[in-house]
Chain A
Amino acid sequence: MNSSLALSSATFIYALSSIFYIGSFSFKKQGLAKIGFIVLIIGFLDNTLGIILRWIESYQMGYGHAPFANMYESLVFFSWTAAILYIFVELKYKENIIGVFATPIVFLAIAYASLSPDINSKITPLIPALKSNWLIAHVIACFLGYAGFAVAFGFSIMYFVKPKNPDARSIFAKLPSLDIIDELTYQMVVFGFLFLTIGIITGAVWANSAWGTYWSWDPKETWSLITWIVYAVFLHLRMMRGWYGENLAWVSILGFMAVMFTYFGVNFLLSGLHSYA
């Protein structure tokens, strides 16, 4: 067993889980979602194994670093965090159909990592600036944040597919009530906001120990700040201006666009210090 085998099998297991959830949604069969959940947990364990093996392999190659150092590794870790977050939500809120909006995100991220020709899956050594424990804290926090926003995005989509008065036989009848969707979206945003805050802060502390400035307005930093502000606006609109439902869902979708740009757009379109992930 090696890490690339574990991670590519995890990709297929996640695909299978998404298919079960989508099937459960389309054919109104709760049972399929239950199978989907078990498959998701298996995929998650496989994903975990892959990350651990990759960590060990990097030591065997003599580079010895945590597997959070390039785009490939961060995408794999993103799937991992989105998966565990969704597993937690399903266990806590006992709503299983909503997996149809979360599991495809888990699958797409890891599939993109494995299949895109732009993304190199080789284990590479760390440049000196990346050798810091703050790096690990920074990456973990940022990706927990991104995962929260991704799941919130999935839930926001529900507003636009769920009709206001679903008739009992439609496939939408099984979806949770709008109140619950609202609460779940909010909980995910709050989770994401806390961890993005921690991510930005640990990044700043790390930059201060590596370069002597905690903030240098480099494009990645600036875009993570923009993302953070969009979600701060989300929180204020909801708490203080009474926004809810579709309007607020649009803000969550806009926020996730900012996340995507921070994550991919900056790397591919703009230049700066963060050439890795």
Chain B
Amino acid sequence: MKKNQTISELIWQFFCSVKLAVYTLVLLAATSVIGTIILQNGTPEQYSRLYGEAYYNLIKIFNIDDMYHAWWFLSLLVILCINIVVCSIERISGTWKIIFPKKLKFNPDRFRKLKTLEGFIVNKAAISLSGGYERFLSKTIGKVIKQETQTGTIMYAESGRWTRMGVYVVHSSLLLLLLGALIGAVFGFKANLQLNEGATSDTAFMVKTRLPVNLGFSIRCNDFHVKFYDTGAPEEFKSNLTIIENGKESFTKDILVNHPLRYKGINIFQSSYGSGRPDSVVLDIIRQSDKSVTSHTIKIGEEIGLPEDQGLFKLEGFMPHFDFRGNNLGEAFIGRITQKDANSFQIALPTKFPTFDKMRKGSFAFVVKEFEHKYYTGLQITKDPGVWYVYSGFILMIIGCWVTFFMSHQSFFIEIEKISDTISKISISGTSNRNKQGMKLKIKKIVTKLKDI
């Protein structure tokens, strides 16, 4: 370290180094592992149960329950960004001078000593060759600089100076990505909304905080459909939604998984579904003494008289998950029988087991005949004004990597030396700022091409 450097110079140097970049990247990778092993965004009870109180305190201190948003993880990202900016500023003027040189120069002696140098002898006069070679170079590489020497001719051509910008594109794409993520985190939101078929709402609930967000318009779920494969796996879920603005229906659209609705910067995704409460059910009431059957359509909350004045039956409600001696029997209607002697008790009618109530061996058995299945649709509602920055970053990253990896700044050199009037010696070499092995192969290929000229 030099003496009498100012603090700001030292800081600049610290952020200039690629060593810092390597350390930061290694730290980012290593710490990212933690979040894939330790539960993220769980409840305090889950942490205490999984890891014990002592570890839970540690987890709390370092925000490991949400580590990808923890101050120390974000600081690593900030360091990475400063590192990239400082390093790019430091290097860009050098690169700029290479890309836009004042005058294109080349040093023949350097090319004569290159490892890629190849040579061959042709039985032709030197003068008769240079025209063809020049045309070949200018066609396959680029503009040719030609000079006469005491013994013959030298030629130089190059291509792809601009490809040295590739790494800058890669690094700025990274900044753009992180900027987009920041914009999304500050100005966007991610929320859920559950809508029963027929229901309307203008308010969703944030995924993390459960706080309500007003969307500025209302969504009505007209209809929900789920289709299954014969294996029982879901094939497709579809919600038919109407957007209502200022009390007026604006438009209606189907949304499916992978086919969201985007409206006024807000995206509405089909994310889940579940069973909602049906309005009514058709029940068969079987009198056990003579097996006579009467059929009734009953609304939830409605009460009917049992045949022959044997009492009352009230349909009290609907449960999505009915628990019977520790087993989940699925959806069930819940009813209450009030007998003539004013004795009253509750019964459950699981829809998957229509004859379940016969087991009770009461004087009447209730059998679920049919009911209209109602669903609710689970919508994920997001707003992310940063997504276009992120997508631009994606595109630049791919282009930048492509240019950096597969294109290069290449220079080629051909020398024609006169040995005698009918014999010439040809030397070819070239350099590239990357892929030296590829350059060797390319020179060999050029040699075979030149031999044919």
Contacts and interface: CB of A to CB of B under 8 A. Distances in A.
B18 interface: yes
A93 to B, nearest CB: 7
A225 interface: yes
Interface string A227-247: 001101100110011000000
Contacts of B394: 201, 204-205
Interface residues of A, number: 48
A270 B435 contact: no
Given A131-B258, A198-B398, A241-B19, A226 B33 contact: yes
Contacts of B441: 92-93
Interface of B is mostly: helix
A270 B40 CA distance: 13
Contacts of B269: 210-212
Interface string B389-412: 011001001100110010000000
A179 B439 CA distance: 14
Interface stretch (B228-236, B334-342, B417-425): B228-236
Contacts of B40: 217
Contacts of B398: 194, 197-198, 201
B21 A236 contact: yes
A194 B170 CA distance: 11
Contacts of A184: 437
B26 A214 contact: no
B236 A128 contact: yes
A90 to B, nearest CB: 13
A127 interface: yes
Nearest to B390: A214
B161 interface: no
B58 to A, nearest CB: 20
Contact of A233 (B25, B235, B390): B25
Contacts of B33: 222, 226
Contacts of A217: 35, 40, 68
Interface in B364-395: 380-382, 384, 387, 390-391, 394
B380 A194 contact: no
B218 interface: no
The 9 closest A-B pairs by CB, nearest first: A128-B257, A212-B382, A183-B437, A240-B18, A229-B29, A219-B36, A125-B229, A212-B269, A201-B394
Given A93-B437, A183-B435, A229-B28, 5 more contacts: A180-B437, A187-B435, A205-B394, A226-B32, A233-B29
Interface of B: 18-19, 21-22, 25-26, 28-29, 32-33, 35-37, 40, 68, 181, 190, 229, 231, 233-237, 256-260, 267, 269-271, 380-382, 384, 387, 390-391, 394, 397-398, 401-402, 405, 435-437, 441
